[in-house]
Chain A
Amino acid sequence: METLEFMDISVVVNGTHVTRRVAARKHLVDFLRDDLGLTGSHLGCEHGACGACTVRVNGETVRGCLMLAVQADGAVVETVEGASDSGELAELQREFHERNAFQCGFCTPGMLLTAAELVAREPPPTREEIRLQLSGNYCRCTGYQSIVDAVEAVCRGRRLEKTA
């Protein structure tokens, strides 16, 4: 059992297997941004309150600033870039775009990944539930309403698709 200040980790990030040596103290988002150049995940507070750092680990959203990179060893990580490139976020992106559900864009990656979990829910969330679930993502630019509208629209679209 070694005590290490630096550790080799092996992670699948956006579908690609990567191996890197990281400082134990480096958190997951700094690893993604600094070591892998994936700057889509942002840092707004580094104490878990703002949601800008939200990424996906083993299929679930986490605060990337509250997880050490070494804890992601052996895990599957997905960032906004991966979820976007795969097309998974396409409906949400389209609704966000058409409804102007973003302005400066800094909260947007975290918002999208949080919203992606919401629209996958069964049964689909109500408008109030959407607001509750988005309440961990801080946005200073919009009034949140267009974001809620966009998520609602995707849920509605999926519901129509199912009944079609």
Chain B
Amino acid sequence: MKAPAFVYVKPQSLNEVFDMLERCGDDAKVLAGGQSLIAALNMRLSAPRVLVDINGIAELAGIRVAGDGVRIGALTRHRALERSPEIARYLPLIHQAMPHVAHAPIRTRGSFGGSIAFADPAAELPACSLALGAEFVIGSKCGERRVAARDFFKGLYETDLRPGELLLAGEFAAIRPDYRSVFQELARRHGDYALVGLAAHARFEGGIYSDAALAFFGVGGAPVLAESAAAAIEGRPFSDETVVAAQSVLEQDLPTHEDLHASAGTRRHLARVLLGRVLRQLAQQRS
């Protein structure tokens, strides 16, 4: 499984990246961590004429805490996110998710931006971004624009990125007091893509849920915020009734999706089960 031939270029600045992308159009693919792209190349699922290696663009890396926000540069490696005390402190949802992302050697190279831009439906970081209401900073020759996570993931491997654009960073609000995050996924084996996963972020104060963001992934082409389920728990305490109420409307929030690992019915069932477990953990988590 040897990759097809391509030409390789390693721009030294963002402007060079944008020039290249504009020049090559569909013939080019951006190489960040390469953990998805190079596998696809090896399997000849993809045959770009040009590979634009952005790993030399220093300004794309790094985790920056500023004010009450955290900016994760597109080239931040999964390993860096996993080990970062800032992420553990300010974005505990991502901190909980990272050990589930593939395996350690893949986390060495894999990047935040790659994960978001590739948007595998069973990937962890897109769901976390959705749950945390992140904003993605997107750059191109024309400048920068920002897109909310909820508007970014459109379908199977489909995002709001337009030709010539590059994801630069994700901006997150740091977790506020009284808020809790819980990440859980169900997978056949440790490190596999999830059968179904849930990245949950909600305020839990005085025993009451509010402002819940329940981002399911593995349930369809893109991660989904379960808004009916969130509405069902809004202002309510943790109890069997609350859980059942949320589970019973969950079906309305999730697309029907099946693949060779699980049928639509199985996925819906697992999503309900996961919801119950995550709601319990949100309630029982020590701050």
Q: Do chains A and B touch in the complex (CB under 8 A)?
A: yes
Other-chain contact of B39, A23, A30, A66 (Cβ < 8 Å):
A66
| A25 touching B109, Cβ below 8 Å | no
Q: How far is the CA of A117 from the CA of B105 in the complex (A)?
A: 10
Assess the B105–A24 pair: CB atoms within 8 A. Answer: no
**A87-134 with Cβ < 8 A to chain B:** 114, 117, 132-133
Counting CB contacts under 8 A, is B102 at the interface? yes
Number of B interface residues at 8 Å Cβ cutoff, please give it: 39
User: Does A42 belong to the interface (CB within 8 Å)?
Assistant: no
Give the CA-CA distance A1 to B16 in the complex, in Å. Answer: 8
A66 B12 Cβ-Cβ under 8 A: no
CB neighbors of A among B1-47 (8 A): 1-12, 16, 19-20, 31, 34-35, 38-39, 41-43
- Known A66-B39, A136-B103; judge A5-B8 contact (CB<8 A): yes
| Partner among B8, B19, B20, B79 whose Cβ is within 8 Å of the Cβ of A60 | B79
Minimum distance in angstroms from B37 CB to a CB of chain A: 9
Interface residues on A, range: 20 to 34
B234 sits at the interface (CB 8 A): no
Neighbour of B105 across the interface among A23, A71, A136, CB < 8 A? A136
Partner of A5, one of B7, B104, B106, B190: B7
- Point out the residues of chain B lying under 8 angstroms from A5, CB to CB: 5-8
Residue of B3, B12, B50 touching A3 (CB-CB under 8 A): B50
Determine the residue in chain A with the shortest Cβ distance to B12: A1
Query: In the complex, what distance in Å separates the CA atom of A24 from the CA atom of B8?
Result: 6
Chain B's nearest CB lies how many Å from the CB of A116?
12
Q: Answer yes or no: B162 CB below 8 A from chain A CBs.
A: no
Comparing A11-19, A46-54, A154-162, the segment that makes contact with chain B is A46-54
CB of A24 within 8 A of CB of B104, answer no
Asked, given contacts A1-B12, A25-B6, whether A60 binds B103 with beta carbons under 8 Å apart, the answer is no
